[in-house]
């Protein structure tokens, strides 16, 4: 079959890791008789350089007209200090919103071959670690009301009633706020994603919130319980986010699926990726209502390694596998890519980030070629 894939290479190491991944996708096409048509699009720093806009309309439109989006990485320190809407990150947030990608799947697993890289004591991860973080992606504080004001003084807006803290006025000076907010609708739909995911895994969901302090978390917890009633086979537990941050280090094997808000998911998914010790190996999927999705490695654009042919493309290759599985319905092909990655590791190939003595050094493109050959 023919598939149309929007390709956003992005900034830093983005172009290289995507190029290496396309070698693998092309091989999948050849082996299984599919044609992947690539539509190359700009977003992030590359788009800012090109047009002054981090997320051009054309990119959004072409993404919508595709079966899936594969993204390398966006971000470039060159744009640090710019206002929020003129930073590369605005492209990521804009894409998530414009494409309705409310569910972010971030697996954190440890490969046997790379278990030594895990910074935790061996006994803590013995027997394998495989967590799926389901992060709500288009709500919460990321998309709540925000603003910066000056209270009092010459340029100030005068008296500002602080509804949040119940005070009548705030002391004069600058004031900024970002509101954490969730609707029942948003919590329900992410809950379904988490429970459906758990049904395909170990039927264990940990919902992470801050219900001892936040109203939005109390609603989150209540709605999780309500949706849970539809999944009697799944075990649901709740944990406060600060405790979850500790438990991820102390006993990460207790987790199967973690479901949490946008902000908490941002932080916990970075923490979880770090305990696997191989951030260059972890993929992610961002999904909406239908099959359409956006796939990207969880790591960033690593500008200091750009163009050096040393970045690890495996996270992007595994993201492409998720794309085959979730957006294109090609489960067999996705399995083949994941198996090829395992075989590649077993054969001893290593990019610099995971290199150890006695292994075979490869660069970004060679990694892509080897994995493609193993598909």
Residue 142 known to be catalytic = yes
Query: For this structure, is 3 an active site residue?
Result: no
Minimum Å gap between C-beta 7 and Mg ion is 22
Q: Considering all CA atoms of the chain, what is the largest pairwise distance in Å, rounded to the nearest integer? A: 69
Helices (H), the chain: 14-32, 45-51, 57-64, 89-98, 122-125, 184-199, 215-228, 241-250, 262-276, 314-326, 331-346, 364-374
Residue 89 interface partner, choices ligand IPM, Mg ion, none, CB cut-off 5-8 Å depending on type: ligand IPM
The span of 26-34, 86-94, 110-118, 182-190 binding ligand IPM (CB under 6 A) equals 86-94
Find the shortest distance in angstroms from Cβ 122 to ligand IPM: 28
Q: Which residue in 337, 320, 333, 318 sits closest to 70, CA to CA?
A: 320
Looking at the Cβ atoms of 263 and 340, the one nearer to Mg ion is 263
Q: Which of 11, 209, 256, 266 is catalytic?
A: 266
Find out whether 217 and 209 touch, Cβ atoms under 8 Å.
yes
Q: CA dihedral defined by 113, 114, 120, 124, rounded to 10 degrees? A: -30
> Looking only at residues 251 through 270 of this chain, which bind Mg ion when binding is defined by CB under 5 A?
266
Buried b (16+ CB within 10 A) or exposed e, 254-271: ebbbbbbbbbbbbebbee
Q: What is the 3-state secondary structure (H, E, C) of 98-128?
A: HCCCCEEEEEEECCHHHHHHCCCCHHHHCCC
The interface region with ligand IPM, picked from 87-95, 149-157, 205-213, 354-362 by CB under 6 A, is 87-95
Q: Clarify whether 270 is annotated catalytic.
A: yes
Q: Which contiguous run of DSSP H or E holds residue 284?
A: strand 283-287
At its nearest, how many Å lie between Mg ion and the CB of residue 195? 24
Measured CA angle at 111 (ends 24, 348), to 5 deg? 65
Nearer to Mg ion, 66 or 261 (CB): 261
136 binds Mg ion (CB under 5 A): no
Catalytic residue among 3, 27, 76, 142: 142
Residue 157 buriedness (CB in 10 A; 0-12 / 13-18 / 19+): exposed
Out of 89, 309, 338, 366, point to the residue binding ligand IPM (CB under 6 A).
89
User: Which of 18, 24, 71, 93 is the binder for ligand IPM (CB under 6 A)?
Assistant: 93
26 is catalytic: no
Return the half-sphere exposure (C-beta side, CA atoms, 13 A cut-off) of residue 200.
Answer: 7
Q: How far is the CB of 367 from Mg ion (least distance, A)?
A: 24
Query: Does residue number 296 form part of the binding site for Mg ion (CB under 5 A)?
Result: no
Q: How many of the chain's residues bind Mg ion (CB under 5 A)?
A: 1
Catalytic residue among 270, 309, 343, 353: 270
Total residues at interface with ligand IPM (CB under 6 A): 4
Looking at the Cβ atoms of 67 and 266, the one nearer to Mg ion is: 266
Tokens of 16: 């290289």
Q: Does 92 bind ligand IPM (CB under 6 A)?
A: yes
Q: Which residue is nearest to ligand IPM (CB)?
A: 89
The whole-angstrom separation of Cα 190 and Cα 236 is 14
| φ/ψ of residue 328, rounded to 5 | -100, -5
Window 248-287: contact mask with ligand IPM (x via CB under 6 A):
------------------x---------------------
Which residue is closest to Mg ion by CB?
A: 266
**Cβ within 8 Å of residue 246, ≥6 positions away:** none
CA–CA distance from 192 to each of 87, 205, 316 (Å)?
33, 11, 26
Encoded one letter per residue, x for contact with ligand IPM by CB under 6 A and - for no contact, window 101-140 reads: ----------------------------------------
Q: Is 242 a residue of the active site?
A: yes
Residues near Mg ion, by CB under 5 A: 266
Residues near ligand IPM, by CB under 6 A: 89, 92-93, 266
Query: Which amino acids are annotated catalytic?
Result: 142, 210, 242, 266, 270
């Amino acid at each position: 079959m023919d598939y149309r894939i929007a390709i956003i290479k992005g900034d830093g190491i983005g172009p290289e890791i995507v190029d290496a991944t396309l070698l693998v996708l092309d091989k999948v096409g050849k082996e299984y008789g599919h044609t992947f048509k690539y539509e190359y699009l700009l977003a992030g720093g590359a788009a800012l350089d090109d047009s002054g806009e981090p997320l051009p309309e054309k990119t959004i439109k072409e993404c919508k007209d595709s079966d899936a989006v594969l993204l390398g990485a966006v971000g470039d320190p060159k744009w640090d200090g710019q206002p929020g809407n003129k930073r590369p990150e605005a492209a990521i947030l804009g894409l998530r919103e414009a494409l309705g990608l409310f569910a972010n799947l971030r697996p954190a697993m440890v490969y046997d071959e790379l278990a030594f890289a895990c910074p935790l004591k061996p006994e803590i991860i013995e027997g394998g670690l495989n967590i799926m973080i389901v992060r709500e992606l288009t709500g919460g504080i990321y998309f709540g009301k925000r603003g910066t004001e000056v209270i009092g003084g010459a340029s100030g807006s005068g008296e500002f009633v602080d509804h949040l803290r119940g005070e009548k006025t705030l002391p004069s000076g600058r004031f900024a706020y970002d509101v954490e907010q969730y609707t029942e609708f948003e919590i329900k739909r992410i809950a379904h994603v988490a429970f459906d995911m758990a049904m395909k895994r170990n039927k264990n969901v940990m919902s992470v919130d801050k219900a001892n302090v936040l109203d939005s978390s109390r609603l989150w917890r209540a709605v999780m319980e309500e949706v849970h009633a539809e999944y009697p086979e799944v075990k649901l537990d709740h944990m406060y986010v600060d405790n979850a941050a500790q438990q991820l280090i102390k006993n990460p094997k207790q987790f199967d699926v973690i479901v949490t808000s946008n902000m908490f998911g941002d932080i916990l998914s970075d923490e979880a990726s770090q305990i696997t010790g191989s951030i260059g190996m972890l993929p992610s999927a961002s999904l909406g209502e239908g099959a359409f999705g956006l796939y990207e490695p969880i790591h960033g654009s690593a500008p200091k390694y750009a163009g050096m042919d040393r970045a690890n493309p495996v996270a992007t290759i595994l993201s492409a596998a998720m794309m085959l599985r979730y957006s294109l319905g090609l489960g067999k092909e996705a399995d083949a890519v994941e198996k090829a990655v395992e075989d590649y590791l077993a054969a001893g190939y290593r990019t610099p980030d995971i290199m150890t003595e006695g292994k075979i050094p490869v660069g970004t493109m060679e990694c892509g070629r080897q994995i493609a050959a193993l598909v």
